[in-house]
Amino acid sequence: MHAFDVLGDPVRRRILELLAPGELTAGEICAAVGAEFGITQPAVSQHLRVLRDNGFTTVRPQGTRRLYAVDPTPLREVDRWLDGFRRFWSPALDALATELARGRRERRGRPPTDDSTDDRRTP
């Protein structure tokens, strides 16, 4: 299965979001995802299996529990693929960051610290 096929499902994306801070038990994942999406434990287990079989998660037994964690390797591959497209949104995000910083400075009543001029201001 291709990485985007795996990540295309909102339940699997949510599971990865839940696991991003650290390990969770299968029961904790099932409880959170089941409540959020209204799906059964066997359905959540199938999603966990897809993530595990495609390398997005690792699982380790701890007694009778199974602890799941994110395996970042396939996510790095997705990130590398996205590198070719970052030019489409990076300038807009950089401009947004500049505008947000400018707004924070104006709210604090301080003049901008760089040499740029703002066309919206009157001289």
- Domain spans of the chain, in order of start: 3-71, 76-108
Show the tokens assigned to 49.
Answer: 């299996």
Which percentage of the chain shows pLDDT scores above 70?
89
pLDDT tens digits, residue range 55-107?
A: 999 999 999 999 999 999 999 888 888 888 877 777 777 788 888 888 888 88
Topology of the domain comprising 3-71: Arc Repressor Mutant, subunit A (1.10.10)
Query: Does the structure show a pLDDT above 90 at 113?
Result: no
User: What is the 3-class SS of 4-70, one letter each residue?
Assistant: HHHHCCHHHHHHHHHHCCCCEEHHHHHHHHHHHHCCCHHHHHHHHHHHHHCCCEEEEEECCEEEEEE
Q: pTM for this one?
A: 0.70
